[in-house]
Amino acid sequence: MATKSKKKPLPKKKPAAGKSRTTKSVKTARAAKPGRAAGTDPKRVAAILAKLDEAYPNATCELKHENAFQLLVSTILSAQCTDVRVNQVAETLYKKYPDPKAFAYATPSELEQEIRPTGFFRNKTKSVMGASKAIIEKFGGQVPRTMEEILTLPGVARKTANVVLGTAYGIASGVVVDTHVLRLSKRLDLSRNEDPKKVEEDLMKIIPQEKWIQFSHQIIWHGRRVCFARKPKCVECNMESLCYAKDKTV
């Protein structure tokens, strides 16, 4: 009669120090391509976009403007300032300075006083006057319509360029990455980069181009209304089931 061989049971593999993860998080991490945040699985991204459409179907830029030039000026003024404050200043500003010519040949000290409430008014005055001069001298008085050209204007970086091209002209040349988009991209694990340029590149890879403009508006609205920097109102968030941010409040 054959005797059963008594094999020693193999020792269970222990996870390496600092690598103990839940099955769920391992699965999620495996779904991501190297170099991408784990939350970029196309189905998850599509679900986030659907939730944003559901919550903010009419999200738009909150800077009041009547044309591309006013939006450009207001966006320059909005650096480190609220849209509400910029809109207050803009109300009288565009009556006194109705076009690029008026800004380009303004008296700097007078213009500084007008835009003082928005902060950093000396630098902003230089940027607005410089951009206005360039618009007159190089672009026939019109805000240019390409990323390459608009980036040549003084005081205009990608964020401002994307706001103007997207909102004023409907041209999707990138994704606006402001403080809200930066914070929410991290919380929603759509990017693990810190540098706005890299975050924008990450977002452009995972979001369909036809959604770039609306996505920026919707995320900014969500950041202003629900997903605050401090104490986000997760209980009111329709993306709560999709979100695994460390600082969630539910």
Residues tagged active-site:
159, 178
Sequence-separated (6 or more) residues with CB below 8 Å from residue 79: 120, 124
* Binding piece for ligand SF4, criterion CB under 6 A, among 80-88, 137-145, 198-206, 235-243: 235-243
Q: Is 237 in the site for ligand SF4 (CB under 6 A)?
A: yes
Shortest distance, position 225 Cβ to ligand SF4, whole Å? 10
DSSP state, residue 77: H
What mask, x for binding ligand SF4 by CB under 6 A, covers residues 188 to 207? x-------------------
- What are 31's two structure tokens? 């779904």
Shortest distance, position 249 Cβ to ligand SF4, whole Å? 6
Query: What is d(CA 52, CA 6) in angstroms, rounded to the nearest whole number?
Result: 60
Query: What is d(CA 214, CA 167) in angstroms, rounded to the nearest whole number?
Result: 9
Shortest distance, position 243 Cβ to ligand SF4, whole Å? 3
- What are 210's two structure tokens? 């036809």
* Binding piece for ligand SF4, criterion CB under 6 A, among 61-69, 111-119, 164-172, 224-232: 224-232
Residue with tokens 């902060």: 119
13-52 residues near ligand SF4, rule: CB under 6 A: none
Handedness of CA 86, 92, 94, 97 (dihedral sign): negative
Shortest distance, position 242 Cβ to ligand SF4, whole Å? 8
Shortest distance, position 197 Cβ to ligand SF4, whole Å? 23
**Which residue in 86, 226, 231, 246 binds ligand SF4 (CB under 6 A)?**
226
Handedness of CA 184, 185, 188, 189 (dihedral sign): negative
User: How many of the chain's residues bind ligand SF4 (CB under 6 A)?
Assistant: 13
Is the distance from CB of 242 to CB of 44 less than 8 angstroms?
yes
Which CB, 182 or 227, lies closer to ligand SF4?
Answer: 227
Shortest distance, position 134 Cβ to ligand SF4, whole Å? 39
242: enclosing H helix or E strand: none
| Burial status of residue 65 (CB atoms within 10 A of its CB: 0-12, 13-18, 19 or more) | buried
User: Which amino acid belongs to residue 45?
Assistant: V
157: enclosing H helix or E strand: none
Which CB, 139 or 244, lies closer to ligand SF4?
Answer: 244
* Binding piece for ligand SF4, criterion CB under 6 A, among 6-14, 30-38, 78-86, 242-250: 242-250
24: enclosing H helix or E strand: helix 23-31
**Which residue in 36, 64, 101, 248 binds ligand SF4 (CB under 6 A)?**
248
- Which residues of the chain form contacts with ligand SF4 (CB under 6 A)? 187-188, 226-227, 232-234, 237, 239-240, 243, 245, 248
